[in-house]
Amino acid sequence: QVQLVESGGGLVQAGGSLRLFCAASGRIVSINAMRWYRQAPGKQRELVAVIASGDTTNYGESVKGRFTISRDNAKNTVYLQMNSLNSENTAVYYCNVVVWSGTYYNDYWGQGTQVTVSS
């Protein structure tokens, strides 16, 4: 079993920055893709950013140039640096990782961390 612990969310003023953390622990041989999603009130969950095992990254159109996803494989941790935040970024942010246990691949979700941007 694998556990994900997220942190770094909070309340920030428009134009400010936050850095989210998601650390994985448990039965992990390696981690494939690591992703950040978000879900705003009344909206569907959407993909924010993804980083592959080779560090290739992709971003949702609305966050390109402002958000940066990165990973530390030694710590099984993925980060999301969010700059120039605005009220549209208010949401619960979830990390999602694809883990190779040595026997099978499986994906896991964090518990979510609230990001609130005040205007």
What is the pLDDT confidence band of residue 116, given thresholds at 50, 70 and 90? very high
Question: pLDDT by residue (tens digit) across 61-85?
Answer: 999 999 999 999 999 999 999 999 9
C-alpha to C-alpha distance for 35 and 32, rounded to whole angstroms: 10
pLDDT at 36: 98
What pLDDT digit, counting tens, does each position of 18-59 carry?
Answer: 999 999 999 999 999 999 999 999 999 999 999 999 999 999
Residue 60: phi and psi, rounded to 5, are -65, 150
Confidence class for position 17, pLDDT limits 50, 70, 90: very high
